[in-house]
Amino acid sequence: MPAAPDKPVLLTGASGNLGRVLARELAARGWTLRLTDIAPFPDALPPRAAFTRLDLADGVGLLRLAEGCGAILHFGGISVEQPFGTVLGPNIQGLYHVYEAARREGARVVFASSNHAIGFHERPHGNAAKLDVDCAFRPDGFYGLSKAYGELMGRLYWDKHGVENVNLRIGSCFPEPTDARMLSTWLSYADLVRLCEAAVTAPRSGHCVIWACSDNPASFWGRDHRDRIGWQPQDSAEAWRAKVGQLTSGNPVTERYQGGGYTAMDYTRRTPSPRDAFEID
């Protein structure tokens, strides 16, 4: 287990499901945490952790919270598909405030991106090649679009300011898989914690993107930058295949694309879009 970081780590979205897991497990590893969320923190505060209730729209407040921090684990913002106006503030403007704080402090950003940034890529079948991280963005909704924007924000701040950032394209992070798609996309809580630990403590990261899923043989995803931070998942969704392997949606759009149900929301095409993002029908 790597040693705890020398400097405090700021965790946004601390009151959400994944934020609460990270707060508990990283504190148990001896980390000093500054927790923040727009919602109250629902659990007892872990040791060496302080909580501040804050809206990501408050750029000055975020700058103050980040003072002296060596890394920002950015798990805040809208975490599901919502109308554009709802996503815009927290996921676009709020992310800008995070990166400005990181730039001022020389802190590394670990960004909770999502598979929904590439959700309209088709699922691989048979011997088809798995998707690598240098694939084109193909977001499946406004939420996924904001995650693509977030990864590009990291690219900008690395190229222009040297702000290191690790972008975690999270698949489906739940206690266990709940349907057949999650046999490909599932990320265990334990693998998430180990991934964030590696992302913060690696000597160097630059700008990198990692498929954040467990060691699932059925994964949709191939090459990424995990070797740069020294992370390998240890869990696998295969243990649940007998339980959930037959649980599909029955919706042809949902089952065609990697983003699952998000792709079918408000879907109005009469025929599927081409595999090549720049071809016409």
pLDDT confidence of 226, banded at 50, 70, 90? very high
Q: Tell me if 247 is assigned to some domain.
A: yes
Distances in whole angstroms, Cα of residue 43 to Cα of each of 14, 40, 184, 191: 10, 9, 31, 22
Q: Tell me if 127 is assigned to some domain.
A: yes
267 is catalytic: no
With 0.85 as the threshold, say if the pTM is over it.
yes
Q: Tell me if 271 is assigned to some domain.
A: no
103 vs 271: CA distance, rounded Å: 45
Residue 276 has pLDDT above 90, yes or no: no
Q: Tell me if 4 is assigned to some domain.
A: no
Q: Could you tell me which of 191, 196, 193, 198 has the C-alpha nearest to residue 236?
A: 191
Q: What's residue 148's pLDDT?
A: 98
Q: What's residue 128's pLDDT?
A: 84
Considering all CA atoms of the chain, what is the largest pairwise distance in Å, rounded to the nearest integer?
A: 57
CATH code, domain with 149: 3.40.50.720
Distances in whole angstroms, Cα of residue 144 to Cα of each of 15, 26, 55, 113, 182: 21, 27, 21, 8, 18
Q: What's residue 125's pLDDT?
A: 86
| Total tally of structural domains belonging to the chain | 1
114 vs 133: CA distance, rounded Å: 12
Question: How far, in whole angstroms, is CA 2 from its chain's centroid?
Answer: 22
Residue 126 has pLDDT above 90, yes or no: no
29 vs 152: CA distance, rounded Å: 31
Q: Tell me if 269 is assigned to some domain.
A: no
Contact 171, 213 (CB under 8 A): yes
Q: pLDDT tens digits, residue range 163-216?
A: 999 999 999 999 999 999 999 999 999 999 999 999 999 999 999 999 999 999
Whole domain around residue 154: which residue ranges?
Answer: 9-264
Q: What is the mean pLDDT of residues 53-65?
A: 98
Q: Tell me if 3 is assigned to some domain.
A: no
Per the prediction, the chain carries an average pLDDT of 97
Distances in whole angstroms, Cα of residue 179 to Cα of each of 65, 141, 189, 211: 39, 21, 17, 19
Q: What is the mean pLDDT of residues 33-47?
A: 97
Q: What's residue 278's pLDDT?
A: 87
Structure tokens at 89: 């503030």
Q: Tell me if 191 is assigned to some domain.
A: yes
Q: pLDDT tens digits, residue range 113-124?
A: 999 999 999 999
20 vs 42: CA distance, rounded Å: 8
> Of 96, 99, 143, 149, which residue is the catalytic one?
143
Q: Which residues fall within 8 angstroms of residue 126, CB to CB, at 6 or more apart?
A: none
Vertex 59, ends 54 and 60: CA angle to 5°? 90
Q: What's residue 254's pLDDT?
A: 98
pLDDT confidence of 241, banded at 50, 70, 90? very high
Q: Tell me if 14 is assigned to some domain.
A: yes
Residue 1 has pLDDT above 80, yes or no: no
Q: pLDDT tens digits, residue range 141-155?
A: 999 999 999 999 999
